[in-house]
Amino acid sequence: MANSGNGEGRPALRQAIHVGIIGGGQLGRMLGLAGIPLGIRFRILEPKENAPASAIGEHIRGDYDDPEALDRFAEGLDAVTYEFENVPVESARRLAGQVPVFPPPAALEMAQDRLVEKETFESIGIETAPWRQVDSREDLARALEVLGTPAILKTRRFGYDGKGQERIDDGPSADAAWERLGGVPLILEGFVDFHRELSGIAVRDRSGQIRHYPLAENLHRDGILRESRAPAPGILPERAREARTKVERLLEYLDYVGVVAVEFFETADGLIANEMAPRVHNSGHWSQDGGGVSQFENHIRAILGLPLGDPAPNGWAGMVNLIGGFPRRREALGVSGARLHLYDKSPRPGRKIGHINVRRGSLEELEKGMAQISELAHDAGEG
Ligand SMILES: Nc1ncnc2c1ncn2[C@@H]1O[C@H](COP(=O)(O)OP(=O)(O)O)[C@@H](O)[C@H]1O
Ligand SMILES: [Mg+2]
């Protein structure tokens, strides 16, 4: 067996719980770091050697769609989860025939296609940006007539960190966008005039109990999340209620188990849902050091049928992503209250390689901490 890591050769303990994670990225690594204190053993399925999550347990090296690797991965597990949304749905379904898989493969399937995602949102009363399906240059022209500009052309599948999308402002930029993205199934979205981006993260357990993290305010640059703050400063109680109601509706509709993240645009008239992630989410990383139970631990608790913990932060929490480089440990840790999380990835431009969390007693103090950390992150990364 192509195993490595500290799971190899250890006798099975009667009381140990074994969780499998499909994907070996930083989210898998942090799920493991949260579950290990609960006495849980982890196994990951990941084709690449030396993945960030290799550190948390046994590593089965195999492709996500290799039946033989999937069977080897599933053996003896109590539950399977995944840490990225492009897990082949067929693989998730195959595993679900052998071991409980959460979140349910149907949620995965929906989240993989922006068009299906938007249709689902709309069918349960969750408002989205206006959109049109685009499969040809003529479709694009027609969609632009209806939606106007600015608009955003996006691939239906496999987009992340702003990749696979192009903004269209006029005729020439429509040609350029088509040139770059045409040939795969696309969607055109009307541009939402939002004043900020928020995310609603919640967790639902196997008995249907739901806990909400406070809405986070998210700052993106070049399509990549840079900073999150929670609770979202100045959020109106009715907005927070609206988000909870919408997230709950989605969780119930999907009979969901685990952590979900829904990205929203906040506009003058309320919330517009952008997309959902059927997994723990970058905008919830602050919860590791917020003083409540983190999204990672609650996800593990939920999929195992264990009681959920209180997500509420104690005071104000924030997170700054480290993109393309990281500051000296000595400097990062020198910021009062700062907690450093590195993913063991080599720096590359535009690549998330870690984050720093900070928690403070007041919003004013949080802002001071965030400013110090952002400056360090900025100096270390590509800017
Ligand atoms: N319809 C839209 N109107 C305005 N801004 C948008 C729209 N769609 C995406 N964006 C901007 O682009 C970012 C990335 O788009 P998103 O659909 O979330 O893709 P990704 O999968 O890359 O996160 C969003 O966080 C937002 O800042
Ligand atoms: Mg997004």
Q: Which ligand is nearest to the CA of 220?
A: 1
Pocket test for ligand 1, best of 118, 274, 275 (most atoms within 8 A of CB): 274
DSSP class of residue 357 equals: E
Encoded amino acid at 305, one letter: G
CA-192 nearest atom, ligand 1? 3
Q: How confident is the model at residue 2 (pLDDT cuts 50, 70, 90)?
A: very low
- Indicate if the pLDDT at residue 186 is higher than 50: yes
Span 119-157, pLDDT tens digits:
999 999 999 999 999 999 999 999 999 999 999 999 999
User: What is the spatial distance between Cα 285 and Cα 341, in angstroms, rounded to a whole number?
Assistant: 10
pLDDT (mean) for 37-45: 97
List CB-based neighbours of ion ligand 2 within 5 Å: 263
- The confidence score (pLDDT) of residue 288 equals 98
- Per-position DSSP letters for 207-252, written without gaps between them: T--EEEPPPEEEEEETTEEEEEEESPTT--HHHHHHHHHHHHHHHH
* Residue closest by Cα to atom 13 of ligand 1: 223
With a 6 Å cutoff on the Cβ, whether 192 touches ligand 1 is: yes
User: Residue 359 Cα, ligand 1 centroid: separation in angstroms?
Assistant: 27
Span 250-279, pLDDT tens digits:
999 999 999 999 999 999 999 999 999 999
DSSP class of residue 101 equals: B
- Per-position DSSP letters for 147-183, written without gaps between them: H-SSEEEEESSS--TTTTEEEE-SHHHHHHHHHHHTT
User: Residue 281 Cα, ligand 2 centroid: separation in angstroms?
Assistant: 10
- The confidence score (pLDDT) of residue 8 equals 52
pLDDT (mean) for 10-33: 88
pLDDT (mean) for 5-17: 62
Cis status, amide bond into 172, omega within 30 of 0: no
CA-164 nearest atom, ligand 1? 22
- The confidence score (pLDDT) of residue 142 equals 98
Q: Identify the CA nearest to 276 among candidates 329, 199, 374.
A: 199
With a 6 Å cutoff on the Cβ, whether 197 touches ligand 1 is: yes
- The confidence score (pLDDT) of residue 15 equals 73
Helices (H) and strands (E) in the chain, counts: 11, 17
pLDDT (mean) for 341-352: 96
- The confidence score (pLDDT) of residue 93 equals 98
* Ranges 8-12, 78-82, 366-370: which has the least confidence: 8-12
DSSP class of residue 15 equals: T
The residue with greater pLDDT, 8 or 169, is: 169
Q: How confident is the model at residue 1 (pLDDT cuts 50, 70, 90)?
A: very low
- Indicate if the pLDDT at residue 44 is higher than 90: yes
User: What is the spatial distance between Cα 25 and Cα 53, in angstroms, rounded to a whole number?
Assistant: 6
Which domains, from first to last, does the chain contain? 17-101 (3.40.50.20), 130-190 (3.30.1490.20), 196-380 (3.30.470.20)
